[in-house]
């Protein structure tokens, strides 16, 4: 899977971020741990030089894990000293970058679990990452709906507290009245879609989605194993294989699968503006277990401008070919979740902890 | 080029549309010309059966052109008789499909020229399709701007007269005040971008766009030939090779190139709502020579529902992974152009007659 | 199919051969028909310049067939005049090249039929090239064997009369006593292999052959259609679809299929030295309908040297990755067949008229 | 690099061989370590079941190295007990398989070093496997030639002592008189080829070889680094980067590069029969540092039959698409080298320790 990186790469990359954007430009007398690491652990910042190809990350037998832990210790130590000792003017320039680096590291905490799950899942041994991990919440069986009046509203981050650049500027949108489900779609809901032939009915799918079904042989969410002859199904989790639970949120579906399910239901996915409006109004139930696909293509908000320099590459340059997800998942650090947060993945991606909830017109 | 079809395929496909959606279901006693043609000339309608793969269209040595012309005559004759003789209740059901078929054929009139141009362009002989074709309009050298106040506006087709399903429903949008250029970008404008290293500066490009530049070796619009040692450039047209004209609209650029040019200019592309608003206000100059890329991902308008049955596949199922273009081009039939018309192509497509104009914030 | 070229390409390429190797260097005052044709119609001669990519041959809408026929007339006329008028010393240098050009054109006469058959075969209309073409010979049902004593023998062309460079030098080989079948394998023989699960038993296949079976989904020779529910099979031929005839030679099999069949039979394929020895001894029955795969990788005979210059690229540079076929087929001009003739194709090729016969150890 | 496997895979696979072919069928009461290991560590034996795909070996994060070492200990212990206690009749059936398993493990000892070298080589850190490893032998600068008379000779293993099945049966071949170089080609020799434009002259290459040069951008042997601006070159070795030594044997060249060098030299590669004849006559100097490509496609000797059962897949099924190498290399265990030994790789392979020596006609 080309999108998956080894854990040790994540460990090094998050330290590289502090080294490159905070310590090297701002900390007097700081010495880079190894000049080659810039090349190895840059993920996609064109402005700071060439990069080791993403596909080749799995080939990196060197540096060893020990060397990478030493690298992290080197950066952590220097960062601690910098925080303690930075002159005020330097601090003013660097503190925002440190905050960004912390949020960046939180993102990678989630990515590490996504990637570990994928790597373990392809082993025929079905190894558990942590057998003690508990399954997700039980959803209500009945599907309740919230009704919202729409109108001329404001969405986006207002600038108080930390947010990524792509969450603003706050701006007006017009929304027609809409309904939104009080819980995400469940595994039981999705089983009904499968049993009704959902993966074999082209009229339910976007054209690119149907092509993805054919090309990849999709017939269930990622990590769902073929049903036993008895019809019972198992699902691969970070706690190993376990029987599927119809009451938990369906997870590891692509945007295309979420969209096809919605069409099959006679409903649709919410736009990100609808999602944010409902979340701010306290009308969204049982969020935080799975990211929720929206109907919105990921693009810039009106008057959005990326910040200057390399950190401007953080979000803005990915604004094509991806769909927005909202909410947060069980692997997302709690204080990393915001109602304005815009996560994004290509519409075929399934290795993120991605589910969805339904919406409809009033 | 997998997107290009032979002319004889277009000729057969447009007749197939009338045969399949009008004559077979509605015309008493109609006999299909050849049962195999349904398979061969279906472009993408899943609901009416299997299809000959798009990539294999170029392999179709049979049926011959003579057989396809006989097929068209058969369908035209039957359609003429049907229009003359259809009972009123049948006519009520079928007349909308005939109108759709005529607009469908107009779309293919443009596609045929797009495809012929591409096929001829790859021949080292640089053959002309029609040496008498005249070059496009001269644009003003100076770039004037229109200023629009925005506000809470309505866009989309209001249902009077023909429109494709994706042009409606008419709905409200909020627009901030914006500016829009009074003419499309010209070849001369684009030459300045090239000469300033535009194709070699990753900071100007979306991530997927930069990947497309690298992968395809783009260094100029499609059909621009390598400059001579003197620096003079030629461009391949339907009239054959001719010297580039800096005053004509730049054409055959991808969305990514349009977007990079806009970023280099310190501007941006207009959204489709901005474009339509400016067009309705009479503020758009020199449209109709090239389709104009917008900043909008192609998606459904609020409350959009595709019509039931196979014709519902006409537009709706392509609503992912594409960008909207507005306007019309020199190859578009005049009465096919509407201010609400939403053309769409993937952001890497360059063989359509696609240019762009700039926009900015007030 | 990347190996297939349009008929008009073959027509131009064979004239290009005479133009490039005979007329341009040897005929005083000869003028090339079009300077671009050298680029378009060179198949693989590196020494005479760049080439139009093989994969793009199907895209060549220009030059038209009329232009290519005019090209052939131009070259034919000039060649006729050259033959009539060439001074003796020029003739001495050029006559061998003319003879080579004629044999080259005979090869393409067969290739044209191979390619037309493939192009027609992919049409769902199953069009016939010539409905009057008659099926191949009936083979004897019983499989007789010839026994040959082997020993220290000479094989290869002795230099009397025309031969391609790769047929010589004549040289010694040692052969153990061997047996060789008195007829090629038949469709009936091959049906028994299929019905015994031949395409599903990896132990019968070379590793690369088994990979080709999996990758391409082979379950019968090329042009055999899926059996009807009755079990009856049809086969696509240049005369259109017709019922399979168990008594005719099996054709359009790859080397890997021939080899797997032989292993299944408890036999093997003959080496090319065995084949040639048996042919010279008059011990080979019913040759000339299908080319016969041998067990020999295509390589140079001892002391082989390609001729100097571009014509040295005719055969020698293909001496890796291919297997030798011997004999000739129904599409081979009669006077083009020789016992020393070495045809060659990659072991996966199936669009040539390729069958095989069995051999064994004494 | 899809041909490269992780070291821990090799460790497990060689134990799997003993478990599968010796202990499971022959050792009373033997219990497999883990039922899944058969699937994970089968390399290519179709007859013993499905296999983990080769390309996915690098993804195997589990079982861990500790588990694999426990697996090896389990198998080693059981094998020791079996050797000590096997009844005579069981021993008669199993002892040949144990011997085969030992030679198999010796082959993997070499493969492990080949694979480690490749994995380390792609790291920009240029890590050394063992900095204390010493460079290869110094070749004589002058190129001496041995002359051999040829004639009707016997080659192949005579059945005394261990040999792989593909080394026999011993059989007669006719050889014309030939010459063979008294040492392999050196890095200095190969530098002269490069400096004479060898990688840019298509007339020196087989057609498939030239395609490989273009496709892979070859311009020097594998592990040769781009020359410094001074012209000095470094080479990546298991001891890390070091300056190239013109007097050592050239290594990590493909068959195509060896063949092109030979053509450039006005010479050729020896056939495997010539190589073996010269080796048996004591006429080959400085063997054992690099495997030597021959001009012979890898195929079965006359009357060769693979042994029955799964071990019959050891060699025979690879007899297409590969070329024979003779000799042995610095990483080959000493007692694994035989004059009849037939190593084989595809003609594009470069990660083996492969060089060559020249031959010519008398």
Nearest to D174 among C47, C172, C203 (CB): C172
A and C touch per CB criterion (3+ pairs under 8 A): no
- Chain B residues whose beta carbon lies within 8 Å of the beta carbon of residue A171: 176
Least confident range from A133-137, B76-80, B346-350: namely A133-137
The answer to whether the beta carbons of residues B310 and B48 sit under 8 Å apart is yes
- Chain D residues whose beta carbon lies within 8 Å of the beta carbon of residue A123: 59-62
pLDDT number for residue A244: 95
Nearest to C125 among B62, B123, B125 (CB): B62
The answer to whether the beta carbons of residues C218 and C257 sit under 8 Å apart is yes
Residue B361 has pLDDT above 90, yes or no: yes
Closest CA–CA distance from residue D196 to any residue of chain C (Å)? 17
What whole-number percentage of chain B has pLDDT above 70? Answer: 99
Question: Rounded distance, CA A42 to CA A50, Å?
Answer: 8
Cis? peptide before A59, omega within 30° of 0: no
For chain C, give the longest Cα–Cα distance: 69
B and A touch per CB criterion (3+ pairs under 8 A): yes
Q: Which residues of C touch D (CB under 8 A)?
A: 44, 46-47, 152, 171-174, 176, 202-203, 205-210, 255-256, 259, 295-297, 299-300, 302-303, 312-313, 317-321, 323, 347, 361
Q: How far is CA C15 from CA A133, C12, C32, C33, D156, in A?
A: 75, 5, 11, 11, 50
Please report how many Cα atoms fall inside a 13 Å half-sphere around the Cα of residue A283, on the Cβ side.
19
Q: How far is CA D352 from CA A304, D117, D125, D221, D293, in A?
A: 54, 10, 22, 12, 11
Mean pLDDT, range B40-44, rounded to an integer: 88
The answer to whether the beta carbons of residues B317 and B291 sit under 8 Å apart is no
b/e D111-136 (16+ beta carbons within 10 angstroms → b)? bbbbbbbbbbbbbebbbbeeeeeeeb
Grouping H, G, I as helix, E, B as strand and the rest as coil, residue D145 is strand
Cα three-residue angle D220-D226-D143, rounded to 5 degrees: 40
pLDDT number for residue A59: 67
Size of chain B, expressed as the number of residues it contains: 362
Q: How far is CA C268 from CA A184, C181, C263, D61, D300, in A?
A: 64, 11, 6, 44, 11
Nearest to B206 among A202, A297, A320 (CB): A320
- Nearest Cα residue to B249 out of B342, B181, B295, B333: B181
Residue B57 has pLDDT above 80, yes or no: no
Q: Which residues of D touch C (CB under 8 A)?
A: 44, 46-47, 152, 171-174, 176, 202-203, 205-210, 255-256, 259, 295-297, 299-300, 302-303, 312-313, 317-321, 323, 347, 361
pLDDT confidence tier of residue B59, bands split at 50, 70 and 90: low
Alpha helices in B217-354 (DSSP H): 255-264, 272-280
Q: What is the ipTM of this complex?
A: 0.95
Contact B152 A174 (CB under 8 A): yes
What are the start and end residues of each CATH 3.90.1580.10 domain in chain A? 145-361
Mean pLDDT, range B82-99, rounded to an integer: 96
pLDDT number for residue A86: 97
Q: Which residue has the higher pLDDT, B224 or D36?
A: B224
Mark the ranges of chain C whose per-residue pLDDT is less than 70. Answer: 55, 59
Query: A145-189: per-residue pLDDT in tens?
Result: 999 999 999 999 999 999 999 999 999 999 999 999 999 999 999
Chains that touch C (3 or more CB pairs under 8 A): B, D
Question: Rounded distance, CA C330 to CA C326, Å?
Answer: 13
Q: How far is CA A129 from CA A117, A118, A238, D35, in A?
A: 8, 11, 5, 21
Contact A60 D123 (CB under 8 A): yes
Query: C212-261: per-residue pLDDT in tens?
Result: 999 999 999 999 999 999 989 999 999 999 999 999 999 999 999 999 99
Q: CA B33: distance to chain centroid?
A: 30
Question: Rounded distance, CA C362 to CA D17, Å?
Answer: 36
Contact A124 D52 (CB under 8 A): yes
The domain made up of B145-361 has a fold known as: 3.90.1580
Contact D120 A52 (CB under 8 A): no
User: CB count, 10 Å around CB of B342?
Assistant: 21
Residue B173 has pLDDT above 90, yes or no: yes
- Nearest Cα residue to C211 out of D57, D296, D320: D320
- Chain A residues whose beta carbon lies within 8 Å of the beta carbon of residue B176: 171-172, 302-303
- Full pLDDT tens readout for chain A, 362 residues: 778 888 999 999 999 999 999 999 999 999 999 988 998 899 888 888 888 877 677 767 788 899 999 999 999 999 999 999 999 999 999 999 999 999 999 999 999 999 999 999 988 889 999 999 988 889 999 999 999 999 999 999 999 999 999 999 999 999 999 999 999 999 999 999 999 999 999 999 999 999 999 999 999 999 999 999 998 999 999 999 999 999 999 999 999 999 999 999 999 999 999 999 999 999 999 999 999 999 999 999 999 999 888 888 888 999 999 999 999 999 999 999 999 999 999 999 999 999 999 999 98
Torsion-angle region of A82 (φ positive above 0: left; ψ -120 to 50: alpha; else: beta): alpha
Query: D194-205: per-residue pLDDT in tens?
Result: 999 999 999 999
Question: Rounded distance, CA A174 to CA D239, Å?
Answer: 67
- What are the DSSP calls for A238-282, one per residue? TTEEEE--TTSBP-S--HHHHHHHHHHTT-BPPPHHHHHHHHHTT
Contact A119 D61 (CB under 8 A): yes
pLDDT number for residue A265: 98
Return the structure tokens found at B354. 């696609």
Nearest to A297 among B174, B207, B297 (CB): B297
Q: Which residue has the higher pLDDT, A311 or B250?
A: B250
Residue of C125, C128, C238, C351 to mutate when probing chain B, most B C-beta within 10 A? C125
Q: At what angle do helices A65-85 and A88-121 cross, to 10 degrees?
A: 150
A and D touch per CB criterion (3+ pairs under 8 A): yes
Cis? peptide before C278, omega within 30° of 0: no
pLDDT number for residue B61: 77
Question: Rounded distance, CA A57 to CA A66, Å?
Answer: 17
Q: Which residue has the higher pLDDT, D295 or B313?
A: D295
pLDDT number for residue D59: 67
Q: Could you list the mean pLDDT of each consecutive 10-residue stretch along chain D, which spans 362 residues? A: 86 96 96 92 85 74 91 98 97 96 96 94 90 89 96 97 96 98 98 98 96 97 95 94 96 98 98 98 95 98 90 90 97 95 97 98 89
């Amino acid at each position: 899977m080309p999108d998956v990186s080894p854990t040790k790469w994540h460990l090094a990359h998050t330290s590289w971020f502090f080294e490159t954007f905070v310590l090297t430009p701002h900390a007097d007398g700081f010495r880079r741990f190894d000049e080659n690491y810039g090349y190895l652990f840059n993920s996609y910042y064109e402005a700071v030089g060439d990069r080791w190809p993403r596909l080749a990350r799995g080939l990196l037998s060197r540096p060893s894990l020990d060397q990478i832990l030493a690298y992290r210790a080197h950066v952590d130590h220097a960062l601690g000293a910098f925080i303690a000792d930075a002159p005020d003017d330097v601090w003013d320039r660097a503190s925002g970058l440190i905050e960004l680096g912390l949020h960046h590291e939180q993102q990678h905490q989630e990515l590490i679990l996504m990637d570990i799950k994928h790597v373990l899942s392809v082993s025929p041994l079905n190894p558990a990452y942590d057998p003690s991990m508990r399954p997700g919440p039980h959803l209500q069986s009945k599907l309740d709906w919230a009704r919202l009046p729409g109108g001329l509203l404001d969405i986006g981050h207002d600038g108080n507290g930390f947010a990524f650049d792509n969450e603003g500027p706050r701006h007006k949108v017009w929304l027609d009245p809409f309904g939104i489900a009080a819980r995400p779609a469940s595994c039981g809901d999705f089983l009904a879609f499968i049993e009704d032939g959902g993966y074999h009915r082209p009229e339910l799918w976007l054209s690119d989605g149907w092509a993805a079904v054919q090309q990849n042989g999709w017939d269930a969410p990622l990590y769902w194993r073929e049903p036993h002859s008895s019809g019972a199904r198992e699902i691969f989790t970070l706690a190993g294989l376990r029987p599927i639970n119809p009451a938990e949120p369906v997870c590891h579906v692509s945007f295309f699968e979420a969209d096809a399910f919605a069409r099959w239901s006679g409903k649709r996915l919410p736009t990100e503006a609808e999602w944010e409006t409902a979340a701010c109004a306290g009308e969204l139930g049982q969020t935080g277990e799975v990211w929720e696909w929206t109907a919105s293509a990921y693009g810039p908000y009106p008057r959005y401008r990326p910040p200057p320099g390399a950190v401007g590459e953080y979000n803005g340059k990915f604004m094509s070919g991806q769909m927005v997800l909202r909410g947060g998942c069980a692997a997302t650090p709690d204080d990393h979740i915001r109602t304005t947060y815009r996560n994004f993945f290509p519409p075929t991606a399934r290795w993120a902890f991605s589910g969805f909830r339904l919406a409809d017109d009033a």
